Structure 1
Amino acid sequence: MVLSVIATAFILVLPVELPDKTLFASLVLATRFAPLPVFVGVGTAFGVQVAIAVTAGSLLSLLPEGLVSGVVAVLFLVGAVLLWRSATEGPEDAGEAADARERTSFLRAAAISFGVLFAAEWGDLSQLATAGLAARLQEPVSVFVGAWAALLVVSGLAVFLGKKLADRLPIALIRRVAAGLFLVFAVVAIVETVRTLA
């Protein structure tokens, strides 16, 4: 494992997920069930999603280098535009929170949490970023560890700190910082594409 790659994946994925539906879905699940099974279910769903994204990115890296860096640049540019455009919107709809936590078994609460987050993460910006990093950096295990750690931090904050966190997050600022990070990675990928094709 490469520590700098872990840090890069962590730093890129964390701000993307903070204002995301994932945070608010985890928050709602934690109002309905006990926090620990929600965290276990959500964390497992994230692990599977990150593994899928890293695998897709690793397969992408088998293509010619110029094509890979061009695709990665497009992924990051699209992510930057989407994040920048969403900066002025409010938090993504989390649905109605239950008034009281349901009395549900640990396994059932974890399974429901897994299902909700697994379905919600398809095509998410963090998944695109993870695939792009895996393709670009060719360190799949390090990208997996960094991205999954960032997702676990976000879900842990949502599940264990709850509503206090959601009310205090500067959503617009976080989305703009994330858009800036995506833009930097897009520029680096564009430079690599031009250098490869030249």
Structure 2
Amino acid sequence: MLKKRTVCLAAGAFAASWALAAAEGQAPLPPSSSLSPTTARDAIHGGFWQGFIASLSVVIVSELGDKTFFIAAIMAMKHPRIVVFAGAISALVFMTILSAAFGWIATVIPRVYTHYISAALFLIFGLKMLRDGWKMDPNEGQEELEEVQSELKRREDAHEKEETLDMLEQGQAENRRRKRNAIIKILLQAASLTFLAEWGDRSQLATVVLATREDAVGVVFGGSLGHALCTGLAVIGGRMVAQKISVRTVTLIGGIVFLFFAVTALVMGPGD
């Protein structure tokens, strides 16, 4: 429900800015031709690294202890780690590119609107994360870990029943073929579960917002690296990490990071 409300809030904000721009008869301004080639290169270079660092930090504080983290951690306990990592990161990188594309499309709206809308959304995300972290049970991470474990076990039990019936009906040659296809199934399972868990998540919405105000390529690379670090940590030692880290602490830190981006956006202004 919270995810749906946040998605609706973001969509409504961008729609409102479109309407306001149309009402005032403002069209997107083309890039200034007065910039020298050197100045243009410097602006792009600075924008890339700003977007890269912002996206990297937002993804890390959003994904540590998140459902996608636990999915990768639990699957890596039973399946080859490299296969689980490949499936999960492929879904996350695709989601990052898709989210950045949504944000980039929104840049046709005059920058002054998207700048303050993004600042407002970061402020809302930050306050919500601080509120959630403050009220969060210290065992919240363990509860989410158990929830994901239960869901994966249910899926695996159903899959094992289907495999047993197939083995009784099919010959040895077919069984060998099924074993060769097992890796593909694990890859697809990791990718699909991760994609569905990530859709509408905080990090996805934050990526959309960041891409409206920062360099979209920098946002994609920073977000992808952040996802790779979190997913790599999950598949290597996710169970141990999940038991050691405090999801409450990570959530509070994430709230502070989001508020930092909101404040800097308000202080710097759309022209900076």
Aligned counterparts, 1:98-177, within 5 A: 98=153, 105-137=182-214, 139-177=215-253
- Matched AA of 2:198: E
Correspondence for 1:76 among 122, 126, 132: 122
Residue ranges of structure 1 left out of the alignment (5+ in a row): none
Structure having the higher helix fraction is: 2
Identity of aligned residues (%): 27
Asked if 1:60 is matched to 2:106, the reply is yes
Check conservation: 2:69, 2:238, Cα contact below 8 A: no
Shift of 1:143: 0.8
Q: Deviations over 1:58-105 (max 9, x none)?
A: 11121011210122123212221332233224123323265x9x8772
SS of 2:71's partner is helix
TM-score (structure 1 length as normaliser): 0.87
CA distance in 2 between partners of 1:176 and 1:46 (Å): 23
Shift of 1:192: 5.2
The equivalent residue for 1:180 is 256
SS of 1:162's partner is helix
CA distance in 1 between partners of 2:213 and 2:49 (Å): 16
Structure number with greater Rg is 2
| Segments ≥4 residues shifted beyond 4 Å | none
CA distance in 2 between partners of 1:182 and 1:24 (Å): 23
Check conservation: 1:50, 1:144, Cα contact below 8 A: yes
TM-score (structure 2 length as normaliser): 0.65
Q: Deviations over 1:8-38 (max 9, x none)?
A: 2212211111021111121122234221111
Report how many residues are paired: 194
Single out whichever of 112-121 and 124-133 deviates more from structure 2: 124-133
Check conservation: 1:5, 1:143, Cα contact below 8 A: yes
The equivalent residue for 1:11 is 57
CA distance in 2 between partners of 1:30 and 1:86 (Å): 29
- Aligned-residue Cα RMSD (Å) equals 2.4
Residue ranges of structure 2 left out of the alignment (5+ in a row): 1-44, 161-178
Shift of 1:172: 1.5
CA distance in 2 between partners of 1:133 and 1:41 (Å): 25
